[in-house]
Chains A and B, each alone.
Chain A
Amino acid sequence: MTAPAPSVEEVARSSTSVRQTVAEGLRERIDLIVTPIFFLLMLGAVVLLWVYGDLDATAQRIINWERMQQRILEHINVTLWSTLLVVSLAIPLGIFITRPQFRKFAPPVLGVANAGQAAPAFGLLVLFAGFFGIGTRTAVYALLVVAFLPVLRNTMVGLQQVDQSIIEAGRGMGLSKRQALTQIELPLAVPIILAGVRTALVINVGTAALVGLIGAGGIGLSIISALQLRRDNAAFIAAALVAALALLIDFLAALAERYLRPKGI
């Protein structure tokens, strides 16, 4: 009826999307540029100290490269297994307690998960060692509890924030409940769930520095040895290595977040 001109709505829409892009762009710049810079700084510190750190024989033994490799692998091993376990348990549970008929279970489940995160990781490790004995398996269980909440909560929030009208439209066209869940709700919740997984990874890579205390190795064990033997340079190298590993894992998770997010949202 009228000559084409951008409607009010169109203008509003484009301006919000511009704002969003700016905010997202900023966050991505931090994730994908600043984090790697810090990673390289930490790595540089490790190398510098290793070469010019004036390390005596004891210190050399603590951070001996062969041994360090093993510690790094142990660290990664514990981190990945515990996170994998968190993902495979917390996501299904999060889906379950957001279904209308099971929503009543949400408060008690969240309460337990909250307690898991509130408990100090250190205490939890010792407590678990008391129950299950020392070793990698116990460490993985403890980390599972520590990092459970972020994934559970983000799964729930991710599913709940999906616009009801989108689900309504899908159901109205004949998608079954299961199809609506797998084809609409879960894909739209992916960015938020991934953010939860990333948080869990970062928590676990940090907490894994403590698992040396209960016989599960990790880079933390080298820190403990160095501190006990008062080899500060060696302790610093191991600590910087933990930091570098955490930054690297966070960076990889950020990449995953970026590339696994469904297009269009």
Chain B
Amino acid sequence: MTPTEPMIRLEAVEKIYPGSDIPAVARLDLEIMPGEILVLVGPSGCGKSTTLRLINRMIEPTSGHIFFEGEDVTNVDADQLRRKIGYVIQQIGLFPHRTIAENIATVPRLLDWDDDRIESRVDELLTMTGMEPSIFRSRYPKELSGGQAQRVGVARALAADPDVLLMDEPFGAVDPIARDRLQNEFLRLQAELKKTIVFVTHDIDEAIKMGDRIAILQEQSVIAQHDTPEAILAGPASKFVEDFLGAGATLKGLNLMRVREVEVDDMPTVVAPTSREQVLQTLDSSGSDWVLYLDEKRMPRRWLDRRSLDDVEALSGAGREVNAFVEPEDTVRDALEIMLHSTAGVACCVKPDGTYRGVIRLETLMALIADLQRQERDKQAAVAAASS
């Protein structure tokens, strides 16, 4: 396979349900390159889920062809085909009567792997998705939280190491905080695994965050625009795309930028074990209103100010808890939100291992936004100049 050959190619794929005149998917051509995340996004009823399910033939196309690595799979055995494609749906659909290990082992069992290989693969996947095998292996799905179930769903889809992963609103059923964490974990995983992923969502912010490329779909799965998130944000191809992006394209641009790309500032800190005197001294010498208290492992714990030192005995219970941090894979938009809710008015950044990295201040973000706006103006000017 040459590097430019698409992993998945849809050629004039059409789906017309029996008894309906209007196609649910109308003559769709689509190419998905190896190792990319292609996000299908669009308003509800646009046929994005149908399109996804046409790829693994959960829905059989009325006409057209589907190619995997150049091979026409439109008429091969659908069950065999699906064993080579990971599939994650919003409801996850873990088998409640099977343990987590058995759930993950589903496809390897179908492929007749031997027991030892399955066992080590299950442990590997649990570890990879951040779940301790000895704890979770023999649990049942009802004993998991929503976020954990979602991780198992992803692990199960990855079990037989498929090249392609189809994900239908995979993080749609978890609360916003867990969703954010799952998205970040998934991106981190994908950076290692480099799977070819087709990802369906109705949430444009999620699309911008997750997608290497985005296909914005309108009715009957007609592609309104198919490009990188940056290009779509900078130059919506039509009124439909513009409306779908909604207001605040600049703000959405913040979804594109990761915290790791932003320079962090220093913040006066004290590291445990420490004393009140030292905290006071740090406050005095820095001139700052707040000092960040790190525990023995250098993990941020409390925001301390002068007042909070008066009435508490242990420093570990003084001041305000640091209840939100941003990780390198979080978007700058996440950082902005945390900043707005933070006691000290800054977003506290941690390294992947949870130790303190620095803080992001509002001024830094203001400069970034101004920069983005300038770039956007320049681009629009260039487009206008080119078209005139």
Least distance between B251 CB and chain A CB atoms (Å): 18
Report the Cα distance A173→B106, complex, angstroms. 8
What 5 A-B pairs come out closest when comparing CB atoms?
Answer: A169-B93, A264-B140, A174-B83, A165-B91, A172-B87
Report the Cα distance A70→B145, complex, angstroms. 56
B141 close to chain A: CB less than 8 A: yes
Report the Cα distance A174→B140, complex, angstroms. 22
Per the 8 Å Cβ criterion, residues 322-347 of B in contact with A are 322-327, 330, 334, 338
The interface-forming segment of A1-9, A51-59, A192-200 is A1-9
- Choice from A173, A183, A184 contacting B156 with Cβ under 8 Å: A173
Could you tell me if A176 and B79 are in contact, using CB atoms closer than 8 angstroms?
yes
B178 close to chain A: CB less than 8 A: yes
A residues apposed to B, CB below 8 Å: 1-3, 6-10, 13, 17, 163, 165-176, 179, 183-184, 187-188, 262-265
Report the Cα distance A10→B145, complex, angstroms. 5
Which chain B residues lie closer than 8 Å to A10 at the CB level? 145-146
Report the Cα distance A6→B177, complex, angstroms. 11
B320 close to chain A: CB less than 8 A: no
| CB nearest to B83 among chain A residues | A174
Report the Cα distance A201→B217, complex, angstroms. 57
Q: If the complex has contacts A172-B82, A174-B79, A264-B96, are A7 and B178 also in contact, measured as CB distance less than 8 A? A: yes
Which chain A residues lie closer than 8 Å to B99 at the CB level? 264
Report the Cα distance A179→B142, complex, angstroms. 23
**Interface SS of chain B:** mixed
Which chain A residues lie closer than 8 Å to B235 at the CB level? none
Could you tell me if A184 and B330 are in contact, using CB atoms closer than 8 angstroms?
no
Report the Cα distance A188→B97, complex, angstroms. 7
Could you tell me if A1 and B175 are in contact, using CB atoms closer than 8 angstroms?
no
B110 close to chain A: CB less than 8 A: yes
Which chain B residues lie closer than 8 Å to A9 at the CB level? 145-146, 174-175, 178
- Tell me which of B96, B141, B142 has the highest count of chain A C-beta atoms within 10 A of its own C-beta: B96
Q: If the complex has contacts A1-B184, A6-B145, are A170 and B83 also in contact, measured as CB distance less than 8 A? A: no
Could you tell me if A174 and B326 are in contact, using CB atoms closer than 8 angstroms?
no
| CB nearest to B175 among chain A residues | A7
Least distance between B154 CB and chain A CB atoms (Å): 12
Could you tell me if B97 and A7 are in contact, using CB atoms closer than 8 angstroms?
no
Could you tell me if B174 and A173 are in contact, using CB atoms closer than 8 angstroms?
no
Could you tell me if B146 and A7 are in contact, using CB atoms closer than 8 angstroms?
yes
B92 close to chain A: CB less than 8 A: yes
Least distance between A225 CB and chain B CB atoms (Å): 50
Query: Can you sample 8 A-B contacts with CB below 8 Å?
Result: A7-B145, A7-B178, A17-B142, A165-B93, A170-B95, A184-B95, A262-B97, A263-B97
Report the Cα distance A6→B145, complex, angstroms. 9
Report the Cα distance A209→B90, complex, angstroms. 53
